[in-house]
């Protein structure tokens, strides 16, 4: 693939667009971002708020700790800290650097300012509408489909921005991806074109993984793996990714590089590949190329499924990590395609029931499936077309999981949300 080819430029642009830092789970911080932006449009601190959100936002905010809030969880804490932070220009890093005084103000705000929460009347999985009021004045922000994709801004009933039906907006990624060309791109890319992006991914995701292993977070899945199953490379690969999620789901205030809108997907796609690169003494450039494979294949699968779904996104990232590990060991299209199909056949039943400590365990299982998928192929074994949801050809199997998640699991998603809300 040449630098002048459309796909070369397209894949570089996808990586630039999708690999960026976020502090905390992306759904709570998206609520904080919307609230911060609404207050900036209002021009003053609000006297009350109305928050309208889709079911999948509820699902992913309910049980996860919001960073720098003193251990608070939930929708009200998420929007309130956005009001207090009031720095929307930082987007998904706006919770960085919250002070003790701001945490004190957060407590006062939650005690004194009414926050009404409603389910949005929408079929979208990702929709956030935050309206803030002060006296006779109001401001309204609407986000759809992607966590920072503001499509509507209103002040005092006057429309300042309306991009909801703009097909060039952030909500319409319109990516053209396939496994074969992703591998070709990884083989031919001038590494310096993406080096800064991928080295930042290595640095930030490794740092939060180390933090998760050193300290007590969530259910400590990463630590449990290492303490009970030894330090074999397969265990280390699972533990590294799980530990990053342990920390992140429990409110650690360290950023991660997200993929397809998810920090857990970003951790899962990258950390096992990084661990294998250490084990194999791979060069930095070879690691970067393998991460390109894992990152872009994760984006490819999630592009068809959507940002939020009843289908657990780390299943895609775990399979993609297996592909990156295969690439590091010399595997190309044949090995990678079979790795992906095998892994997807194993773990495609894992549901997403929101962001919380158990995500780390699901990450470990998904990475295990990715590694097993590769080792099956290395030992002359595979799942064949017609075996359950597997079809002949990797792209056909990826299409099957898209249909499973977007069509088959709609009612599953609704039932998951009902169960979670009934437990309030």
Residue 136 burial class via C-beta count within 10 angstroms: exposed 0-12, middle 13-18, buried 19 and up: exposed
- Per the prediction, the chain carries an average pLDDT of 95
Residues 107 and 226 in one domain: no
At residue 304 the predicted structure's pLDDT band, cuts being 50, 70 and 90, is confident
pLDDT digit string, tens, across residues 149-184: 999 999 999 999 999 877 555 544 678 899 999 999
At residue 246 the predicted structure's pLDDT band, cuts being 50, 70 and 90, is very high
Which residue among 127, 162, 197 closes a domain?
Answer: 162
pLDDT digit string, tens, across residues 9-54: 999 999 999 999 999 999 999 999 999 999 999 999 999 999 999 9
Domain with 229 in it: 179-422
Number of domains in the chain: 2
Mean pLDDT, residues 260-278 taken together: 97
Query: Do the domain assignments include residue 19?
Result: no
Query: Within the chain, how many helices (H) and strands (E) appear?
Result: 16, 8
Tokens of 169: 């907006």
pTM of this structure: 0.94
Mean pLDDT, residues 344-371 taken together: 97
Residue 258 has pLDDT above 90, yes or no: yes
Query: Do the domain assignments include residue 16?
Result: no
Residues 146 and 107 in one domain: yes
Mean pLDDT, residues 342-355 taken together: 96
Which residue among 103, 135, 162 closes a domain?
Answer: 162
Residues 318 and 200 in one domain: yes
Residues 213 and 359 in one domain: yes
Q: Which residue has the tokens 């309130």?
A: 80
Distances (CA, A) of 220 to 217, 228, 361: 6, 12, 9
Query: Do the domain assignments include residue 32?
Result: yes
Mean pLDDT, residues 235-252 taken together: 97
Query: Do the domain assignments include residue 18?
Result: no
Query: Do the domain assignments include residue 4?
Result: no
Residues 191 and 233 in one domain: yes
CA gap 273, 181 in Å, rounded: 20
pLDDT digit string, tens, across residues 91-116: 999 999 999 999 999 999 999 999 99
Query: Do the domain assignments include residue 373?
Result: yes
């Amino acid at each position: 693939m040449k630098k002048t080819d459309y796909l070369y430029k397209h894949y570089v642009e996808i990586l630039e667009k999708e690999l960026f830092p976020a502090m905390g789970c992306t759904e709570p911080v998206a609520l904080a971002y919307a609230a911060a932006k609404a207050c900036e449009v209002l021009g003053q601190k609000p006297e009350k708020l109305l928050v309208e959100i889709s079911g999948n936002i509820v699902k992913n905010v309910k049980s996860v700790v919001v960073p720098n809030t003193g251990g608070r969880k939930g929708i009200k804490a998420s929007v309130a800290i956005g009001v207090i932070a009031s720095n929307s220009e930082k987007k998904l890093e706006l919770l960085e650097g919250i002070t003790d005084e701001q945490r004190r103000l957060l407590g006062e705000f939650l005690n004194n300012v009414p926050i009404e929460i409603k389910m949005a009347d929408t079929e979208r999985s990702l929709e956030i509408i935050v309206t803030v009021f002060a006296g006779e004045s109001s401001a309204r922000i609407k986000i759809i489909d992607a966590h920072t994709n503001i499509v509507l801004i209103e002040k005092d009933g006057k429309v300042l921005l309306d991009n909801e039906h703009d097909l060039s907006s952030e909500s319409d990624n319109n990516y053209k991806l396939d496994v074969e060309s992703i591998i070709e791109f990884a083989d031919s890319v001038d590494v310096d074109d993406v080096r800064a992006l991928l080295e930042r991914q290595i640095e930030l995701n490794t740092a939060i993984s180390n933090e998760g292993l050193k300290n007590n977070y969530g259910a400590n899945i990463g630590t449990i793996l290492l303490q009970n199953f030894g330090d074999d490379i397969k265990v280390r690969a699972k533990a590294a990714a799980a530990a990053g999620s342990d920390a992140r789901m429990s409110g650690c205030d360290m950023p991660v590089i997200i993929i397809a809108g998810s920090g857990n997907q970003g951790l899962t796609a990258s950390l096992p590949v990084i661990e294998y690169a250490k084990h194999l003494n791979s060069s930095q450039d070879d690691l970067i190329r393998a991460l390109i494979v894992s990152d872009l294949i994760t984006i490819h699968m999630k592009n068809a499924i959507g940002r939020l779904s009843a289908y657990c996104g780390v299943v895609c990232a775990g399979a993609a990590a297996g592909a990156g590990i295969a690439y590091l060991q010399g595997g190309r299209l044949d090995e990678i395609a079979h790795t992906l199909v095998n892994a997807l056949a194993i773990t495609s039943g894992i549901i997403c029931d929101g962001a919380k400590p158990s995500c780390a365990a699901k990450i470990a299982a998904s990475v295990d499936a990715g590694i097993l998928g590769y080792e099956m192929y290395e030992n002359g074994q595979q799942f064949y077309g017609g075996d359950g949801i597997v079809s002949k050809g990797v792209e056909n199997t990826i299409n099957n999981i898209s249909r499973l998640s977007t069509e088959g699991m709609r009612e599953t998603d609704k039932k998951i949300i009902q169960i979670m809300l009934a437990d309030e």
